Each structure stands twice: as structure tokens, then as C-alpha cells.
Structure 1
Amino acid sequence: MVALWGCTTQDVEVISNAARFPAYPDALFSAIESTCTDPADTLLRPKRGILECRTFLSPEESAALIITYDGTPEKLPQLVMRFQAMKDNGGYLVDYQAFIDVPQKTGAPVRLSQHSPWVLRRMAQIFQLSGGEMVPPPAEA
């Protein structure tokens, strides 16, 4: 899986995708909840409007990430898919972020992001099927 993600270190910027919904995206959040059910998955709702599906990686992938990024075996790396809905112009803007979180022996975790066009296209399809309208990415300065 790590090889498929084509990871690069991204401590500040994480890959994101966004869509605008006319109302709170209950259907989208329900769909995400129904897919985050594997034994290695943890579904978190830190507060209304934020949903995370965290997935433990295989032992081999975890070991490689721990060694490569000076992580710690006490807290294993996880793939994180985070969705955040924010009230916006009479509707809701939903932002999607995907990254691998590699906890460190000391300090903040290292976040590894992929830049896969396939993942971005797939998320756009999921947003649109759930009633969202894609928001173009911000122009680079």
C-alpha cells in the first residue's frame, strides 16, 4: 500500500480535495462511516463536522516507515483519511485530506502525503455522488 501511495514528506501541506454541499453532508459522512469497518480501522469524530478513518498498515509497511522516518514502535503509523465540513455561503464546504501519520520518538508526527491523480479523481466521484459540487483547487502563487 505504501508503494501505491507514492509518499513524500509533507509536514505542512497535505493533499486535499474539496466540494460544496447545499446542506450538511449527512449522506457522505454515513457512507464514510459504513466503509471504515475493517478490524484495522478506527473511526473518529473529534467534533461535529470532522470525521476520520484511521487504518493501521501491514507490519512490513509499518516497519519500513518507522525505520525510514525514525518513528517509534510504541505508536504505529496509520493511514488517515480526514473529512471536515465547514459552514460556507449557505451550504457546507467539505475538505478531504489523506496522509500517513508516522509518530516520532519525540516531537510531532511526520505526515506523508501522496499526490495520486487517481485518488483525487476517486474522491471527486464520491463527493459528486453524495450531492457535492467540486471546488477548484486554489491557484498557486
Structure 2
Amino acid sequence: MKLFTFIPFLACIVACAPQDVPDASRSAQFETYPQRLFDIFETSCSGPGESFERTSGQTFECREFLPAEASAYLILNYGGNPQDLPQSVMRLTSSKNADGYRIDANVFFKVPQRTGSVVEVPLDSAELDQSISRLFQAMGGSPS
């Protein structure tokens, strides 16, 4: 899954329907469990260098290896281990609450360290936040 192509791909599902532009958010509330969202997330994470993993009961990740230049930049600037390359990660987490299900998206670069630990470098982008909000809305959620 090319991180920046996944979100627009999913948002295209309802791109032709008129809709309000939601506030930029990486969280949304769903009345029922958004199985379709997670199914599409898994399906879209199947390209070369990509891996999909359910890391816990309700946490799903799509990881992707980065181009050489981006990997080198992260290794040099964040003390990474050249033997264990950085990856981009998009994580979706679901939690049940009184109103249904809250879904949180987290996007970051995972930079393995020589000590064995990992540094997570957040990817902050207003455009990405807006795309995630549109995706959640397209899947029936209310961005919050």
C-alpha cells in the first residue's frame, strides 16, 4: 500500500456523491463495527514491500518499506540501524464504547535503532488528516 495512495483510493468509493467536508481528524465514531473499512484496508496493503498485520485484537497495521533516499534520511537523522530498514506505518485501532466504535488512525515512520528499540517518527500533515476524515466519513463514520 503506498501510504499516500491508499487514502485517496478509499475516498474514491463515494467521491461522486455530494458530501460535507469534515473537520480534519484521525479519529471517527461509527455506530456499528466498520468491517468494510478494515477489509479494504487489508486488501489495499498487498503490494510489493508491503505487509498487513493484526498486531492485537483490534489494532491493524499496514507497513511499507521506503525508497532508499527516505530510508537513508531516517537512519541518519534518527540514529537508525542500517541492517533493519525503516518503514512507513499506518495503524488503525478500534475500541468499543457506549456509542458504538471509535476508530483511530496513526501514521508514522518506524525507525529501528541499533539498541533494538524503535523510534516512531509521527507524520504530521493537514492534508493527510483531511483525507483520513473523508475516508472515515465515506465509510459511514463521524470524524471527531
- The residue that corresponds to 2:117 in the other structure is 108
Q: Distance in 2 between matches of 1:46 and 1:114?
A: 20
Aligned-residue sequence identity (percent) comes to 38
Residue deviations 1:27-70 (CA, integer Å, cap 9, x gap): 11011112111111110012332110001001121122111211
CA RMSD of the aligned region, Å?
1.6
Compute the TM-score of the two structures, normalised by the length of structure 2. Answer: 0.79
**Deviation >4 Å, runs of 4+:** none
Distance 2:126 2:114 in 1: 32
SS across alignment from 2:32? coil
Gaps of 5+ in 1: 2-15, 136-141
| Structure 2 stretches lacking a partner, 5+ long | 3-24
**SS of structure 2 residue aligned to 1:66:** helix
Aligned residues: 121
The equivalent of 2:104 in structure 1 is 95
Between Structure 1 and Structure 2, which shows a larger proportion of helix residues? 2
User: TM-score w.r.t. structure 1 length?
Assistant: 0.80
**Matched residue, 2:44:** 35
Measured after TM superposition, the shift of residue 107 of structure 1 is: 5.0
1:126 matches 2:130: no
Give a deviation string over 1:2-34, Cα, whole Å, max 9, x none: xxxxxxxxxxxxxx7100011111011011112
